[in-house]
């Protein structure tokens, strides 16, 4: 089974190539490299702030940036995220765990070795999983083994309890694994798995077994509060709670795509899989409708479903087998029904967006089909007929060839950019110092992690800088996107945001070209703002947020000539400054690390220091050692009031909710110790 999984996802490391994973190359590898650089530095710390995109965003409070799940930590600390092996190792490791836990679960409920191995391989090699290797959805793939893992632990606990033996190790395992599951970078599958496990425990063990299981799961979630509480607070101030239009990648399973269960290539494929124009994906609004609806798991599992239905109708299944078959059917049908557009339409009454793409509920269906295959093999073997064993072997051979060949279309390697050209690009970026850049997300440049980009690619973004970017780009106010290239901004906006150069595949007639490398145009941005700038009081205007964004959208408004502050900002006393004095000033900017910014401002006039970095409640400021309030300039950047003289300004970022989360985690750990201690004695089953 394990060898079969490895062979499906095997990606020979040809020189100067890397396993293709779109999101991994464009997003996850850069965040992993950022964390790795900090963790392996002399200071050995995990950054709280990420300055690389969207004018800066919170880092480890966003689980999609830094999941604390053990599999990610192993890969992160042992391998170069930007290297040719990390993605391949990470996806293969998750697939192996998915197969192993499915195998262990079915062994625990009494299925034989061939049935368990076939089901484990099938679940790990489902199209739902394999397609996301090419898409690069690493956080989702890391959460994929959650459902069989939790079901195996719950079933082990129930059986141990029924035998009257001590269950404390299983309670501890349920709590610890629940915590790990909730720390995965894609909480959607984690929540699905937790809910399904809670229902399974009630169905399988009754209320007597359910209480300690649910207690263990809840305590496990509490143990992960050190990350979940900051994550919840981040969501509250993110785009997820804005009144935006439906996202293009919020995909329900179209009724027509249900045919992909049997005809996976019926609607074509994206260019990432096949560049042949005749094979292009068609009939749907965007490529998200392909990636989120790949559901092929072979034809043989459906034959297994028919066999189980026949056995069920003829009462050829034992009591426990009938109950398991009913649960499998309910789980599989629930996955399909809840993924359909009808359920998505009902979700419009829920404010904000918590989970996108209900099509991902097909996770349940994929698991149910894999389990159905294992159960059908067990039923066939129970007949003890030689022909049954022959047919099982034949059908499994067909199944492996069918599903394996389907999956291999998503396992491809691409060439890395030549080292000489990358070095030349890196030299250009080094010259911008503390400035920003505007770099397209495609082609994915390995050196992008080394510079702060104006654009962004994320699914959870701070609301204020997101709205700032929309206003500067002249985009609709309710636009709901998670990808934006700095090349889409006008040059006045790029200059105001401190961008000095642009790397893009588009042609910009309004900018001066430095040169062109491998089809990538490199432009110089005229008159870029410095990362930190001083604005005297006669250049400061106080306006309501709506008026600020109206001016940001006005192409005639000079973004670098005035500082726009909120109307309710605290204003200095009129006597605090006077006109006609020397207006010279000096500003020095220094960044010891991502979480600290230091500025030295020397001026004879009062005003505001503006730093091109996203405003967030986690930032605090001090001036000459005294606390200072931070004002959201342009409704999104940081500004602090400056008095005449020499001012040493220091900004520090601390993750909101981190302390509360750690306290909840400590309390939950103490409760877990108490729960395990209370479970030390065997239960009386008489």
- In this structure, the answer to whether residues 390 and 426 fall within a common structural domain is no
pLDDT at 78 over 90: no
pLDDT at 319 over 70: no
669, part of any domain: no
445, part of any domain: yes
Closest CA to 410 of 223, 273, 504: 273
- In this structure, the answer to whether residues 436 and 398 fall within a common structural domain is no
448, part of any domain: yes
Burial of 70 (0-12, 13-18, 19+ CB in 10 A): exposed
- In this structure, the answer to whether residues 313 and 436 fall within a common structural domain is no
Rounded Cα–Cα distance for residues 204 and 626 (Å): 61
- In this structure, the answer to whether residues 579 and 513 fall within a common structural domain is no
For 17: left if phi > 0, alpha if psi spans -120 to 50, otherwise beta; the answer is beta
Rounded Cα–Cα distance for residues 278 and 403 (Å): 23
- In this structure, the answer to whether residues 455 and 569 fall within a common structural domain is no
Backbone phi and psi for residue 166, each to the nearest 5 degrees, phi listed first: -65, 135
Grade residue 624 by pLDDT with cuts at 50, 70 and 90. very high
Rounded Cα–Cα distance for residues 26 and 22 (Å): 6
> Could you check whether the bond before residue 24 is cis, i.e. omega within 30 degrees of 0?
no
676, part of any domain: no
Rounded Cα–Cα distance for residues 47 and 39 (Å): 8
- In this structure, the answer to whether residues 386 and 432 fall within a common structural domain is no
- In this structure, the answer to whether residues 346 and 445 fall within a common structural domain is no
459, part of any domain: yes
Question: Average of pLDDT values for 363-369?
Answer: 96
Q: Are strands 563-566 and 540-543 parallel, antiparallel or unpaired?
A: parallel
CATH classification at residue 563: 2.60.40
238, part of any domain: yes
Tell me the residue range of the domain where 429 lies: 419-524
Q: Tally the domains of the chain.
A: 3
The answer to whether 194 touches 181, Cβ cutoff 8 Å, is yes
- In this structure, the answer to whether residues 330 and 405 fall within a common structural domain is yes
Give residues with Cβ within 8 angstroms of 236, minimum separation 6: none
- In this structure, the answer to whether residues 450 and 588 fall within a common structural domain is no
Span of 280-284, 300-304, 412-416, 477-481 with lowest mean pLDDT = 412-416
- In this structure, the answer to whether residues 330 and 478 fall within a common structural domain is no
Between 354 and 60, name the one with better pLDDT: 60
Rounded Cα–Cα distance for residues 371 and 120 (Å): 8
- In this structure, the answer to whether residues 583 and 492 fall within a common structural domain is no
Burial of 302 (0-12, 13-18, 19+ CB in 10 A): middle
Average pLDDT score over the chain: 89
Give the number of other Cβ atoms within 10 Å of residue 409's Cβ.
16
Which of 388, 414, 440 is where one domain is finished?
Answer: 414
Span of 46-55, 257-266, 569-578, 646-655 with lowest mean pLDDT = 569-578
550, part of any domain: no
Structure confidence at residue 350 (pLDDT): 60
Span of 29-43, 94-108, 538-552 with lowest mean pLDDT = 29-43
670, part of any domain: no
Question: Average of pLDDT values for 488-513?
Answer: 91
- In this structure, the answer to whether residues 403 and 427 fall within a common structural domain is no
Structure confidence at residue 613 (pLDDT): 96
Backbone phi and psi for residue 136, each to the nearest 5 degrees, phi listed first: 80, 25
The answer to whether 115 touches 377, Cβ cutoff 8 Å, is yes
Grade residue 327 by pLDDT with cuts at 50, 70 and 90. confident
Joined together, the tokens standing for residue 371 give 């389990």
Rounded Cα–Cα distance for residues 538 and 566 (Å): 16
Structure confidence at residue 441 (pLDDT): 83
pLDDT in tens, 437-494: 999 887 777 776 678 999 999 989 999 999 999 999 999 999 999 999 999 999 999 9
């Amino acid at each position: 089974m394990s060898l079969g999984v490895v062979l499906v996802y095997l990606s020979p490391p040809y020189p100067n190539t890397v396993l293709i994973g779109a999101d991994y190359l464009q997003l996850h590898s850069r965040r992993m490299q950022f964390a790795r650089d900090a963790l392996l530095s002399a200071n050995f710390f995990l950054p709280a702030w990420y300055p690389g995109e969207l004018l800066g965003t919170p880092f480890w409070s966003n689980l999609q940036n830094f999941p604390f799940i053990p599999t990610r930590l192993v890969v992160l600390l042992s391998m170069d995220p930007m290297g040719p092996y990390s993605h391949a190792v990470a996806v293969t490791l998750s697939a192996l765990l998915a197969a192993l836990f499915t195998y262990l679960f079915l062994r625990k409920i009494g299925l034989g070795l061939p049935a368990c191995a076939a089901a484990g391989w099938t679940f790990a090699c489902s199209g739902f999983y394999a397609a996301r290797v090419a898409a690069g959805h690493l956080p989702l793939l890391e959460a994929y083994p959650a459902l069989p893992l939790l079901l195996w632990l719950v079933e082990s606990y129930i059986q141990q309890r029924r035998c009257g033996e001590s269950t404390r190790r299983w309670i501890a395992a349920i709590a610890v694994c629940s915590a790990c599951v909730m720390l995965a970078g894609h909480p959607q599958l984690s929540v699905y798995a937790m809910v399904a496990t809670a229902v399974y425990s009630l169905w399988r063990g009754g209320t007597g077994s359910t209480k300690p299981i649910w207690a263990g799961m809840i305590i496990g979630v509490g143990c992960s509060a050190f990350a979940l509480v900051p994550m919840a607070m981040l969501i509250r101030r993110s785009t997820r709670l804005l009144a935006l239009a439906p996202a293009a990648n919020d995909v329900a399973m179209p009724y027509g795509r249900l045919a992909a269960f049997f005809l996976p290539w019926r609607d074509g494929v994206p260019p990432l899989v096949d560049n042949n124009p005749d094979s292009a994906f068609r009939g749907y609004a965007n490529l998200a409708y392909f990636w989120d609806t790949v559901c092929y798991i072979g034809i043989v599992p459906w034959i297994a479903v028919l066999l189980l239905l026949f056995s069920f109708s003829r009462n050829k299944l034992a009591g426990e087998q009938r109950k398991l078959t009913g649960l499998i059917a309910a789980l599989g049908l629930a996955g399909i029904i809840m993924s359909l557009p009808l359920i998505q339409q009902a979700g419009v009454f829920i404010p904000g967006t918590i989970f996108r793409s209900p099509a991902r509920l097909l996770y349940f269906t994929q698991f149910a089909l894999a389990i159905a295959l294992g159960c059908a093999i067990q039923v066939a073997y129970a007949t003890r007929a030689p022909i049954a064993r022959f047919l099982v072997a034949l059908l499994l051979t067909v199944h492996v060839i069918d599903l394996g060949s389907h999956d291999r279309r998503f396992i491809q390697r691409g060439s890395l950019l030549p080292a000489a050209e990358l070095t030349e690009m890196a030299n250009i970026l080094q010259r911008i110092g503390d400035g920003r850049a505007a770099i397209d997300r495609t082609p994915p440049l390995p050196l992008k992690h080394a510079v702060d980009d104006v654009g962004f690619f994320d699914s959870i973004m701070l609301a204020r800088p997101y709205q700032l970017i929309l206003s500067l780009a002249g985009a609709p106010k309710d636009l709901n996107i998670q990808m934006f290239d700095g090349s889409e901004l006008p040059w006045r906006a790029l200059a105001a945001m401190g961008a000095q150069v642009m790397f893009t595949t588009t042609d910009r007639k309004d900018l001066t070209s430095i040169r062109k490398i491998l089809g990538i145009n490199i432009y110089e941005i005229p008159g870029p703002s410095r990362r930190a700038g001083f604005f005297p009081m006669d250049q400061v205007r106080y306006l309501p947020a709506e008026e600020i964004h109206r001016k940001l959208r006005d192409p005639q408004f000079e973004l670098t000539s005035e500082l726009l502050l909120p109307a309710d900002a605290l204003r200095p006393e009129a006597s605090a400054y006077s006109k006609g004095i020397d207006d010279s000033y000096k500003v020095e900017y220094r960044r010891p690390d991502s979480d600290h910014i230091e500025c030295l401002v020397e001026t004879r006039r009062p005003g505001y220091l503006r730093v091109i970095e996203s405003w967030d409640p986690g930032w605090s400021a001090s001036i000459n050692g005294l606390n200072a309030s931070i004002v959201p300039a342009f409704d999104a950047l940081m500004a602090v009031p400056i008095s005449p003289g020499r001012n040493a300004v220091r900004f520090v970022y601390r993750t909101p909710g981190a302390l509360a989360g750690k306290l909840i985690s400590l309390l939950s750990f103490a409760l877990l110790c108490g729960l395990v201690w209370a479970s030390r004695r065997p239960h009386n089953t008489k």
